Amino acid sequence: MTDLAQPVDSALALAKLERKTKRLSIWALIFFIVLLIVIASAGAGGFVFWKKAKALDAVQKDLVFSLFITDINHSTDFVVPQVNTIQFLRRGYSLTFDTVKYTQEGLFLSGTLGNGTELYLNSLAVNFVARPYPYKIREKFDKQTFPWWSDEWNIGSGQTNVGMLGPGTSMPFSVSIPNVKQTADSIQIAVSFSGERYSYLK
């Protein structure tokens, strides 16, 4: 004689199923909350990392720009368009403007170039390049891929032939720099020599 299966109490089975479903729902909710916390933590960590990386990038760009300015100031002679003021160049030379005039052709400069050395300079040409101050071209500098001054940033340039400049003497000069207008923005003028030949005082 075989045993007959006991009838299943549907109410009891339904209660067990509800408990299991409830447990699964609680675990699913806990898993979802933990997942949200992990995602939020990762997002916060990523945001902090991004902010630090951005700040570090800004500091690095500031340092590169500062070194760029230091290098320019170390390797270039600058004068300001100001009359009756002796402005000293590197290597013992000086420059004094007696006329600074803005014209339709640009900036007209005249004055004297002094030689405080014991060298004779022959075939001397003096170059004048009007530039904005470096802080005015910061955005352009940040966009370029080379760490030096671009000639595209120059406002204008001019050259004058002085010829011979003896030791302890001064020579007059005059030059016009085109494209320079009188504005509220200050400019600086880079001065350089070219074509000169040197000889010592005997």
Give the DSSP H or E segment for 54: helix 10-75
Beta pairing class for 187-194 and 77-79: antiparallel
Q: How confident is the model at residue 2 (pLDDT cuts 50, 70, 90)?
A: low
Q: Which residues contact 22 (CB under 8 A, 6 or more apart)?
A: none
Where is pLDDT greater, at 108 or 32? 108
Whether the predicted pLDDT of 4 surpasses 60: no
Which pTM was predicted? 0.73
pLDDT digits (tens, 9 = 90+) for 58-85: 888 899 999 999 999 999 999 999 999 9
**What digits encode the pLDDT tens for the residues 41-61?**
888 777 777 777 777 888 888
Give exposure, 178-188, as e/b (b: 16+ Cβ within 10 Å): eebeeeeeebb
pLDDT at 184 over 60: yes
CA torsion, points 67, 136, 185, 75, in degrees to nearest 10?
30
Q: What is the pLDDT of residue 7?
A: 54
Q: How far is CA 96 from the centre of its chain?
A: 31
